[in-house]
Every structure is written in structure tokens, then in C-alpha cells.
């Protein structure tokens, strides 16, 4: 049986990308070489760092960014663009190059997390799909990182699928794992990206049966004594008694999904220990966010299940990333800096490289943005041992680097996030409102 082919990503875009293309094709500027930069002007209120996620999904979308017959016919029927533009789109392939921060890396205001270079025609069409992926995935990962930080060594489990669009749920699960979540309830995310999947039973299973005892007995018979039994459908203390009666002291875990979780966790831990079930773990769910997780730090909780808060960015559902033209080919064939000057939405012209300056203790002290003559910035390699270069090649002449996609890409992103977060300055993980964990400074070559 042939696996279904993923749909085209070409219409996951805004109309003005195509109308700009039409005008540029008509006036001869479509082939000008351009550099676009993805960055955010500020972090959400109270956040001290962001986490880049979705890079692998952007790269996976490039081979699907094709205008096939169905897309072209619809554009023609709707008269979105003219025939010359349709002819261009029929042969569209991105043949440019992309560099950027490795997925999982921490970022700060003005960090050039992705740099796209190609003709205007090739690069401008990618704006919406790049931003829609990076803004959502990075919002989820940034929230998830705060949660895994608050949880310290206790696992966080993503279970927010029912609170998101079905495809967003897959993206959210992936992003949460990049930021340290141990698994997800979403099976498609598990299949697509090799993520660990988790889940046993909801209250509906208990309510299906005539009583709690028969529900627990059925679950243990099916899934074994290592399963997790949900003990708060009726009375928690009685639920724990019945769970132990069904599975014995080898019961894997109990789950608490309501009430004062801190108080209940202490009571249930005492009850389990008194019964000899010292190895039985306690997992808690019920509208958790990073603040609730932090408040449970002293409770005898073994893992946290997080749903709504993580898939919605825990109050910051987007990172505010933008995709701005920072350099374009001039009449002399050289790349010239361009910048937006609109009040409150300024950009800094010219190609930029990026590095993170580390102190003697190995912790970050500055985000360094390198600018200057284009050829110098493009090939910039620092001889300063305190600077860690942040840009890595993602796409070269249209060819996607396979290291950053699929399950391997998620594993690399998870490792990068762990290392990146560990090098942030002390205090960067505090949940209280504060400024960005490190300042962003400029380094201009040739000065």
C-alpha cells in the first residue's frame, strides 16, 4: 500500500506574497538577489529568553512548497495573479540558501534566528509559511522550557491535543519535546517524529463500569500492573485503596486530575507508603502551567501532565517573529543594506551573523550581532574564544541538510536546547518578570 503523499504547502501563504511576485516579475526586479532575516523585536512580557522551535518543520515544508495543477487552477479561477505569474509558479523551486540558529537554541530580541537568501521571487514566497511555523512552535517551546525548568528533574508530559487544531497538536507535541518534555499523548506526533507516547485511561473508562473496582481490574488485566490508574473519579482515598487492591503494591502510578494537588499528593504518598507501595509514582494533571508546576516543587509528585497551557504558549501564543528584507542586489550587482524605518517597527539593514559571548564560567553574557561589509559577514569566523557562533547551514543551493529534519532533527534539537539553556546566566530561569537574560550588542566588522 502506498503511503499518502503530504499536500502541497504552497497555498499556506498570504495573497500579497503572490501579488508582490507578479509586480516584481513585471518590472524586472524578481530576480534580484535578496537576504531576508527572521527575528523578534521583543520577548513576551516577563519572559527572559525564547526557544527556537519549528526549524525542522520549515525545512520539511520546502519540498512540498510546489504549485501543482490543483493550486494553479484555483489561482487562475480566482484571478489571484496573471498568466505570466502562473507560469513562474508552475516551475517554482527554492534554490537559495538558509542559515540560522540550530533548533532548540535560546534566542533574544533581534536574534537573527533564520536568514533566507535567494532571488526576491524565491524568497518572498516563503515568508508566511516560515513565520507561521516558527512563531507557533517557538511559542510552545518557550513555554515548555519554562515548565521543564520549573519541574527540574521530574518529567513533563504533553497532553494538549484536544485543545488545539489537529495539525497544531502534532506541532505542539514536537515543540514541547524539543524543550524537554518526556513524551506526548499524540500518536501522530509519535509516528511522525519518533516521540515517546503516553496515556492509559480517562474518567470515562471508570464511569463506563458499574464501579471503580471493576474499572481498575479491567485496566490492570489489559495493561498490566505497571499501568497508571486515575484515582479521583469519586473519592481519592477510596480510589487509591481500590487501585492497590487491583494491582497490588507493584502498581506503576496513580494520577490525580482535580482538587488541591499539593495536599492530595502528600496524602496519597503517605497512603501508598503505608500500604507498602513505595515505588508507585504519582502523576498530576489538571490545567497545569509553569507556575503551578513550580508551586508543586515540595510536593511528592513524580511527573506532570500539561495540556492547554503548553499548546497555547502559556499566555504568549506567538513570538512576534517577523521576516524582513535586510539586503538586496543593487545596480552594481552587490548586495546593499535596506531597512524599515517605520516608528516602532524598525529593522537593521544588512546581512548579520550571530554569536553568544560566554564568560569565564561558561555562561552567556551577551548576544552578539555581527554586521559590516556583506562578504566579510558572510564568511565571518571569530578568533575570539569567548564567542560561540550561532548560525549553522540549513539549506545550501536548495538542498536541505538532512540532519535537521525528522526524528533525528528532533533529537538534535532537544540536545541543543538542553545545552543552550544550561549556559544561560543564573537567574535566567526565574518565573518572575524581568528583562532578557542577556543583552544584545552589535559588533561591526571593519570599524
- pLDDT (tens digit per residue) in 368-378: 999 999 999 99
Domain membership flag for residue 131: no
One domain, residues 203 and 330 = no
Q: What is the mean pLDDT of residues 403-428?
A: 97
Last residue of a domain, one of 311, 345, 360: 311
One domain, residues 302 and 325 = no
Last residue of a domain, one of 281, 311, 341: 311
**Residue 136 to residues 129, 183, 387, Cα–Cα distance (Å):** 11, 19, 29
Counting Cβ atoms within 10 Å, is residue 282 exposed (0-12), middle (13-18) or buried (19+)?
buried
Domain membership flag for residue 54: yes
336 has pLDDT over 90: yes
One domain, residues 261 and 181 = yes
Q: What is the mean pLDDT of residues 287-304?
A: 97
Domain membership flag for residue 118: yes
Considering only 122-131, 132-141, 278-287, 330-339, which range has the smallest mean pLDDT?
A: 330-339
pLDDT at 376 (0 to 100): 93
Domain membership flag for residue 10: no
One domain, residues 161 and 196 = yes
One domain, residues 163 and 236 = yes
Looking at residue 304, which CATH number applies to its domain? 3.20.20.70
Give the separation between CA 114 and CA 112, rounded to whole angstroms.
6
Looking at residue 399, which CATH number applies to its domain? 3.20.140.10
One domain, residues 265 and 369 = no
Q: What is the mean pLDDT of residues 58-64?
A: 96
Domain membership flag for residue 148: yes
pLDDT band at 6 (very low <50, low <70, confident <90, very high): low
| Domain region containing 222 | 142-311
195 has pLDDT over 90: yes
One domain, residues 343 and 420 = yes
446 has pLDDT over 80: no
Considering only 64-68, 78-82, 255-259, 340-344, which range has the smallest mean pLDDT?
A: 340-344
Nearest CA among 196, 110, 153 for reference residue 440? 110
Domain membership flag for residue 135: no
Last residue of a domain, one of 311, 329, 360: 311
Q: What is the mean pLDDT of residues 185-200?
A: 97
Cβ-proximal residues to 399 (8 Å cutoff; 6+ apart), any chain: none
Q: What is the mean pLDDT of residues 428-443?
A: 92
Q: Is 92:67 a contact under the CB 8 Å cutoff?
A: yes
The total number of structural domains in the chain stands at 2
Which residue is it, cell 513524551? 183
Domain membership flag for residue 134: no
Amino acid at each position: 500500500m502506498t503511503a499518502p503523499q503530504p499536500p502541497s504547502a504552497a497555498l499556506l501563504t498570504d495573497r500579497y506574497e503572490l501579488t508582490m511576485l507578479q509586480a516584481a516579475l513585471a518590472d524586472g526586479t524578481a530576480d534580484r538577489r535578496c537576504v531576508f532575516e527572521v527575528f523578534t523585536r521583543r520577548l513576551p512580557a516577563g519572559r527572559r529568553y525564547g526557544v527556537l522551535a519549528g526549524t525542522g518543520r520549515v525545512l520539511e515544508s520546502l519540498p512540498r512548497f510546489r504549485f501543482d495543477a490543483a493550486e494553479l487552477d484555483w489561482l487562475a479561477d480566482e484571478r489571484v495573479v496573471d498568466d505570466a505569474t502562473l507560469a513562474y509558479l508552475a516551475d517554482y523551486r527554492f534554490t537559495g540558501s538558509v542559515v540560522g540558529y540550530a533548533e532548540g537554541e535560546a534566542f533574544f530580541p533581534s536574534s537573527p534566528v533564520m536568514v533566507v537568501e535567494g532571488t526576491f521571487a524565491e524568497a518572498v514566497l516563503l515568508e508566511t509559511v516560515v513565520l507561521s511555523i516558527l512563531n507557533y512552535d517557538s511559542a510552545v517551546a518557550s513555554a515548555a522550557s519554562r515548565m521543564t525548568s520549573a519541574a527540574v528533574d521530574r518529567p513533563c508530559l504533553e497532553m494538549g491535543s484536544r485543545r488545539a487544531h489537529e495539525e497544531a497538536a502534532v506541532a505542539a507535541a514536537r515543540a514541547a519535546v524539543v524543550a524537554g518534555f518526556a513524551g506526548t499523548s499524540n500518536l501522530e506526533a509519535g509516528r511522525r517524529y519518533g516521540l515517546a507516547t503516553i496515556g492509559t485511561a480517562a474518567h470515562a473508562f471508570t464511569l463506563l463500569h458499574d464501579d471503580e473496582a471493576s474499572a481498575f481490574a479491567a485496566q490492570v488485566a489489559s495493561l498490566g500492573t505497571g499501568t497508571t490508574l486515575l484515582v479521583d473519579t469519586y473519592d481519592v482515598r477510596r480510589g487509591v485503596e481500590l487501585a492497590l487492591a487491583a494491582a497490588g503494591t507493584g502498581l506503576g502510578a496513580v494520577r490525580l486530575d482535580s482538587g488541591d494537588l499539593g495536599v492530595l499528593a502528600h496524602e496519597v504518598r503517605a497512603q501508598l507508603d503505608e500500604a507498602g507501595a513505595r515505588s508507585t509514582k504519582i502523576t498530576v494533571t489538571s490545567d497545569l502551567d509553569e507556575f503551578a508546576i513550580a508551586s508543586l516543587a515540595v510536593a511528592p509528585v513524580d511527573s506532570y501532565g500539561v495540556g492547554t497551557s503548553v499548546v497555547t504558549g502559556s499566555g504568549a501564543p506567538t513570538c512576534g517573529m517577523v521576516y524582513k528584507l535586510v539586503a538586496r542586489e543593487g545596480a552594481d550587482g552587490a548586495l546593499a543594506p535596506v531597512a524599515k524605518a517605520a516608528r516602532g517597527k524598525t529593522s537593521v539593514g544588512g546581512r548579520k551573523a550571530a554569536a553568544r559571548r560566554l564568560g569565564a564560567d561558561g555562561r552567556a553574557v551577551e548576544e552578539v550581532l555581527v554586521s559590516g561589509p556583506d562578504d566579510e559577514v558572510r564568511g565571518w569566523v571569530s578568533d575570539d574564544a569567548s564567542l560561540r557562533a550561532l548560525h549553522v547551514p540549513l539549506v545550501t543551493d536548495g538542498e536541505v541538510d538532512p540532519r535537521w529534519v525528522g526524528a533525528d532533527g528532533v533529537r538534535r534539537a532537544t540536545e541543543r536546547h538542553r545545552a543552550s539553556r544550561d549556559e544561560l546566566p543564573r537567574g535566567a530561569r526565574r518565573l518572575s518578570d524581568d528583562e532578557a537574560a542577556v543583552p544584545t550588542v552589535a559588533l561591526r566588522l571593519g570599524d
